Structure 1
């Protein structure tokens, strides 16, 4: 039984309820020490159950070994097998961070066209997918069903075949980097923009020009997508934010969370590059709503913004699943298509 399985949460709830009933039955007969122990047991089991449910929603720890400090490896669809006829396949790789000093695992989705005789002679556009915090690439796969969405959109012709990268963004599961280079900490921005790109170029038939690269993220990953695109317009052509804010939710350590690592500040104080943004949010999610509206309000040509506000949905996986396919279709439309390998 995996740590993020529904059955694990149910078991925790059953144990918590059982402990509560036992405590109630023994309360009058127990002494002070006994009551203290019973209370501690009930509180412990309730806390563990709540933590298991939070982890089930975010997939911060996809396996028991990850919880105790084991290797950070994806477990869903990592065999490379297709899940449907005409669909793509998802691999798990390890990216050595020659520039950043980080070595992290990454999911790689290869569309069905990649493995065809025609595809063998072409370089494909790339979409880099950034998860929220807490979260992991498994959240995209297991909660947001990204493989299903990619397969459906590509098969239907609404999206061009693309290589999709799902990198980890932190070497420590509960360290929020917001995709930045933390002062005296992990150099996540360098990993995502240099090491991931270098690995993809070395191991897969992908375009290496900015016209063929895009970003998409949800929650904190939405901020990441916009921020990295603004900071590296030579690397990316477009970015899609699903419930992303205009600034990071952390202190970077050098004050840049208020300046150069803040989307709103950059749009106000620096020249805006020729990028395309897709900014989506729910009206009842105040934080991402206000941040997203600020991005839309501050954007000026040559930066182009497509804004989508849904009336409700909060800050939830259910909302992002609704947003996912339209955002992917839009992003595909902004990126250059595959090209012959000799170009």
Structure 2
């Protein structure tokens, strides 16, 4: 039985109820020590129930080995599901971090057409899907049932055949990187924007041009999708944020959490690149709501945003499960489609050096963010945000599971 199995929660509840009934029935028969022991059992069982339920919601520990620190990341990924008639295929691969120094597993969704005779002669667009914190790629697969959703969207024609990558964002459970390069620690940004694309281009039939690459994420992963598309507009043409954060909510080590790794700061102080965003949030998720609205207000052309605000939903997997379909459809509509595979795949472009900041905005030595700035795209003026149906936001803070 896995630690995140709902049966374990039910078992803990049964123990609490049984111990409570036993205490009521045996109160007059047992002496003080017996009563105290049974009360202790009830308290411990209630604490265990709460802990197991919280873990199920946040997916902090997918397995018992993860709880005790003996698991590899590949153990946290769910086993590939049984083949679904007419559905896509899930692979688990290991991505060597030649640029980042990180080597981590990644789940890969291949559309149903990928393995057909006709599909074998084509190269497909790509979406990188980022999970929240705490979490893992398994959150997408198990909590959000993303494989069935992708099958449905592609079968209906609402989404073009697309390869979807589910990488890990951090090498350790309790190291929150927010997809940034932490000073003196994990270089997650480099892993996600250089190592993952390089591996995918070498092993999968995909398009390598930025017009065919997008990103999507929920909660902290939504921040990742927006922030990385700002920092690497040569990598991503579009990004979707489901309840995404406006800032990383961590210390990067160079002060850039307040400047170049902060979505609102970049929108206000640096040229905005020609990328498209889908930003969805719910009104009752206050942090996401406020951050998302601030982001939408700060967008100017050539960046374009489609804001979606829903009245109810909160900050949880049920909400993201509900809004992921329209988000994937929106992304697909803005990415280039599959093309004939006419020859060897071109290698994915290597990491480009960051562009210089405008001189008026370059921080002085010692000021926050004085480290190397991220790449910036040509400036432009505002694309007016278009109002659409509601859905998930960026947030300044992060509750468990985001």
TM-score of the superposition, structure 1-length normalised?
0.93
**CA distance, structure 2, for counterparts of residue 44 and residue 250 of structure 1:** 33
Q: Which residue of 2 aligns with 1:30?
A: 32
Indicate yes or no: 2:291 matched with 1:291.
yes
Query: How many correspondences in the alignment?
Result: 339
CA RMSD, aligned part only?
A: 1.9
Offset at residue 312 of structure 1 (A): 0.7
**Which residue is 2:254 aligned to?**
254
> What whole-Å deviation, never above 9, does each CA across 1:99-129 have from its counterpart, x for those lacking one?
1111111110000111111221211110000
Matches within 5 A, 1:1-343: 1-22=1-22, 25=26, 29-31=31-33, 35=36, 40-68=40-68, 69-73=70-74, 74-78=76-80, 81-83=82-84, 85-342=85-342
For 2:221 and 2:16, the matched residues in 1 are separated by 34
- Give deviations 1:54-111, integer Å, cap 9, x for gaps: 22223232222222221112543526x422x221011111111111111111110000
1:34: Cα distance to partner?
Answer: 7.9
Q: Can you list the C-alpha shifts for 1:209-265, whole angstroms capped at 9, x where unaligned?
A: 111110000111111110011011111100000011211121222211110110000
Q: How far apart are the structure 2 equivalents of 1:319 and 1:45?
A: 30
Mark the runs of 5 or more structure 2 residues left unpaired by the alignment.
344-402
- SS, match of residue 280 in structure 2: strand
If each structure's helix is expressed as a fraction of its own residues, which one has the higher value? Answer: 1
Give the drift of 1:174: 2.3
Cα distance, 1:40 vs. partner? Answer: 4.8
Determine which structure has more spread, i.e. the larger CA radius of gyration: 2
| Larger mean Cα displacement after TM superposition, 14-23 or 211-220 | 14-23
Equivalent residue of 1:92, what SS? strand
1:239–1:14 distance in 2 versus 1, CA, 3 Å: same
- The SS at the match of 2:3 is coil
Check 1:98–1:236 CA distance in 2 against 1; reply closer, same or farther (3 A cut): same
Following the alignment from structure 1 to structure 2, what is the Cα–Cα distance between the partners of residues 180 and 47?
35
SS in 1 for 2:32: coil
CA–CA distance in structure 2, aligned partners of residues 231 and 22 of structure 1: 60
Aligned counterparts of 2:95 and 2:328: Cα–Cα separation in 1:
24
Alpha-carbon distance between aligned partners in 2 of 1:19 and 1:187, rounded to the nearest angstrom = 49
Displacement of 1:342 after TM fit?
2.3
Structure 1 residues 40 and 190 mapped into 2: Cα distance closer, same or farther (>3 Å)?
farther
Residue 331 of structure 1 aligns to a residue whose secondary structure is helix
| Deviation sequence 1:160-196 (CA, Å, 0-9, x none) | 0010001111111122211111122211111111111
User: In structure 2, what is the Cα distance between the partners aligned to 1:282 and 1:336?
Assistant: 30
Q: 1:332 and 1:275 mapped to 2: Cα distance? A: 14
Contact 2:77 2:137 in 1 (8 A): no
Name whichever of 3-12 and 234-243 sits farther off. Answer: 3-12
Residue in 1 aligned with 2:368?
none
Residues in 1 aligned to 2:48 and 2:185: alpha-carbon distance in whole angstroms: 30
Q: Which has the higher mean CA deviation after the structures are superposed, 159-168 or 133-142?
A: 133-142
Asked whether the equivalents of residues 77 and 136 of structure 2 are also in contact (C-alpha less than 8 Å), the reply is no
RCO higher in structure (CA 8 A, sep ≥6):
2
Moved more, 272-281 or 199-208: 199-208
Distance 2:50 2:229 in 1: 36
Deviation at 1:39, TM superposition (A): 5.2
2:73 match: secondary structure: coil
Distance 2:65 2:300 in 1: 47
Shift of the alpha carbon at 1:281? 0.3
Is contact 1:77-1:90 (8 Å) kept?
A: no
- Cα distance in 1, alignment partners of residues 112 and 264 from structure 2: 39
